[in-house]
A and B are shown apart, each in its own frame.
Chain A
Amino acid sequence: MKRVIPEPTILESSRLSSPQPSTHLKGGMYAGHLLKKYAANVLLVTAAKDLLYVGEHIMERLSIPQGATNLEAITDNYLSALLDKGLQTVEASMSICQFSQVPIHQEKSSPLADFKFEPVSVHEQKPNVIEIEILVDGTIGNESLADRELQKLQRENTFLDAFVQGASHDLNGSLVVFKSFIDLFRKYTSEEKKENALQFMKETSVRMERILRGFSDLVNYQKRRKRKLDRLMFETQMSSTLLQLGHKMADCDPIIQTDFSQVPHINYFKAYLNSIFYNLLSNAIKYRREGIQPKIELRTYADTDYIVLEVQDNGIGINMKECSHLLFEPFQRFCPEREGTGIGLSFIHKIVVEHGGYIKVDSQLGKGSTFSVYLKNLEN
C-alpha cells in the first residue's frame, strides 16, 4: 500500500554554498541559524535536486532506517512536493551563482555536525561554487504549539518589516521628487516647463495617495481578521469585481472566459475573496501586451485539500528567473513604466497564506501568466 505522506510546508528557506563536492558550507548568519534550529527537519538539496542531507525527523516520518544507503524512498511525491514549493527560491539562487550538477557524495545520511558551517558576508561570496538550498519542512517534528505561534509571529513581523521598509522608501522618494519639482517650478520661466513640472507633481501626489491607501488596507486587514465566513459563489464574486474594474476595462475590452462548474462555491471571507479577484484581474489588465486584446481565463477545480482558483492571461508575462523569489514581497515592482505600487500581490498572498493556502505562478515572458490560488475551504 502506498504511504500517505503529509503535504510539506516550506517554513523558511535560505541559501548556502559549498565548494564541490564537500561538506564545508558557506552562507549568511541566517542560514546558520536555520541549520542549528531545525537540524532534525532539514533537507539539504542542490538545484539539481540531489540530496546532501536528510534530517532525523524526516527520516523517521518516512520510515527510513538510520544509516540507510538508499535514499530513493524519499524522492517520490514527498520530495517533489517539497521542491515544487521551494523551487522558486532554488531558481532565484541560480541567477546569482554558477551552478553545476552535484553527485550525491554521501551514500547515507550523515549528521548535520559533519557539515562545517562558515558565515560569510554578501560581498565575500565567490562564484564557481555550488549553491545549496536549505528547505525546512514545518509539518514534521515535535515543535510545540508555542513554537508554531512564535514562528507565525516572526513571519508576520518579517512581512510588516518589508512593508514598512518599502512604504518608507517609496514615500520618501516621492516626497523628495515632489519637493524638488516645487523648487524647479519656482525657478522655471518657461510656461511649458512649468506645466511639465506641475504634471509630475500631480502624478507624484497620486502615487503617494496610493501608497497611503495600501497602508490603510493593511491596517483594516489587521483589525478585521475575525470576521464572519460566507458561502460564496465564484461567479457572483467575479461579476462584482468586474463592475469595480469597469473603468480599467473600458479602454482594452478584454475577453473574459470563466468555468466555475467544477467548484462553484467556497467558504471564505467575502472581502478577501474580492481582493483576490480584484488584484489578479486588474494585474491581468494592467500588464497586457501592447496591441493584443487581453484574454483572461478563470476556472476553479479541487486539488486534494484545496479549492484552486486559476487565473490565466495572455499578457507580458513575468521574468520568473529574476523575480520569482520577490513576487510576493511588498513594494516590488517589476515593470516600473506601468502604474502601481507593488502592494496588491503581496497583500493577497498574505491573505491566502494566513488562511492555510498558497499561490503558484507559472509565467513566460511575452506569452502570459497563470496564477493558481490554492484556497482552503474554511470552516467556522
Chain B
Amino acid sequence: MDPMPGFEFLTRANIEFNEWPIEIEYVNSPLDALAYLRSKSVDDFPDAILSDWRLPFFNGVEMAYRIFQEFGKLHPKTLFYICTCPNDQLDRQQFEQLPLVTAVLPKPFDNGCFGRLWTDAKQAKASPQHLAMSL
C-alpha cells in the first residue's frame, strides 16, 4: 500500500530486476487494500502486507489496527511491515511497539529488505504462534 505515484512501477521493476521469487498486489489506497483483503480466501491471503506509514484516509498505525482487528484472528501468520523513507519524521518507536507490526522497513526495497521479509515469512510459517501470541 503506497499512494506515491511511480512507486508501484519501481517496486515491480526491482522484483523483476533482482529476480526475487515473490508476487505482489499493489494498491494505492487503504480502502482498496481492505476491499482486496476481504476478497481473499484463507489459502489465498497474502503472506506479508507492506504499508507506507502515511496514507490517505488514515495513517499506517490505524491501518495496521484495522487489519489486525478484521483479519488478525483468521490470518495470524500474515506479517505486517510499515515502510518509511530515510529522513521521514515518524515516531518509529510508536510503530515498533504495536504488537502486530513485524518491523519498520526502509524504502525503496533492496536486497536487505527482501532478505528480511523472506526470513520472517519462513519463520512465521514454521511457527504459527509468531503473531497469534499478540491476538
A336-B28 CB under 8 A given contacts A173-B107, A180-B108, A326-B57: yes
B87, A181: Cβ atoms under 8 Å? no
A332, B56: Cβ atoms under 8 Å? yes
Query: In the assembled complex, which residues on chain A have CB atoms less than 8 Å from the CB atom of B87?
Result: 168, 172
Rounded to whole angstroms, the CA-CA distance of A236 and B83 in the bound complex is 48
149-196 of chain A: CB within 8 A of chain B: 164-166, 168-170, 172-177, 180-181, 184, 187, 193, 196
> What is the count of residue pairs linking A and B with beta-carbon distances less than 8 angstroms?
92
B3, A177: Cβ atoms under 8 Å? no
Rounded to whole angstroms, the CA-CA distance of A289 and B58 in the bound complex is 24
**Min distance, Cβ A201 to any Cβ of chain B, angstroms:** 9
- A123 contacts the other chain (Cβ, under 8 Å)? yes
Contact flags B66-103 to A (C-beta < 8 A → 1, else 0) = 00110000000000000001111100000001111000
Rounded to whole angstroms, the CA-CA distance of A317 and B97 in the bound complex is 37
- A122 contacts the other chain (Cβ, under 8 Å)? yes
- A203 contacts the other chain (Cβ, under 8 Å)? yes
Rounded to whole angstroms, the CA-CA distance of A334 and B4 in the bound complex is 12
Which of A175, A180, A322 lies in contact with B57, CB distance below 8 A?
A: A322
B56, A333: Cβ atoms under 8 Å? yes
Which of B6-14, B40-48, B122-130 is the contact stretch?
B6-14
Size of the chain A interface, CB-CB below 8 angstroms? 38
**Min distance, Cβ B3 to any Cβ of chain A, angstroms:** 4
A187, B56: Cβ atoms under 8 Å? no
- A103 contacts the other chain (Cβ, under 8 Å)? no
**Min distance, Cβ A123 to any Cβ of chain B, angstroms:** 5
Query: In the assembled complex, which residues on chain B have CB atoms less than 8 Å from the CB atom of A122?
Result: 61-62, 65, 98
Query: In the assembled complex, which residues on chain B have CB atoms less than 8 Å from the CB atom of A121?
Result: 97
Rounded to whole angstroms, the CA-CA distance of A16 and B29 in the bound complex is 27
B57, A323: Cβ atoms under 8 Å? yes
A176-B5 CB under 8 A given contacts A96-B62, A326-B57: no
Which of B5, B10, B97 lies in contact with A207, CB distance below 8 A?
A: B5
Rounded to whole angstroms, the CA-CA distance of A336 and B89 in the bound complex is 21
- A204 contacts the other chain (Cβ, under 8 Å)? yes
12 inter-chain pairs at a CB distance below 8 angstroms, sorted by A residue, are A165-B89, A168-B89, A169-B85, A172-B85, A173-B7, A176-B86, A177-B5, A200-B5, A203-B5, A319-B57, A323-B57, A336-B3
- Residues of B participating in the A interface, judged by any CB pair closer than 8 Å: 3-7, 9-10, 13-14, 17, 28-29, 31, 52-54, 56-58, 61-62, 65, 68-69, 85-89, 97-100, 107-108
The 10 tightest CB contacts between A and B, nearest first, are A336-B3, A172-B85, A336-B28, A200-B6, A173-B4, A180-B108, A177-B6, A176-B85, A169-B54, A322-B57
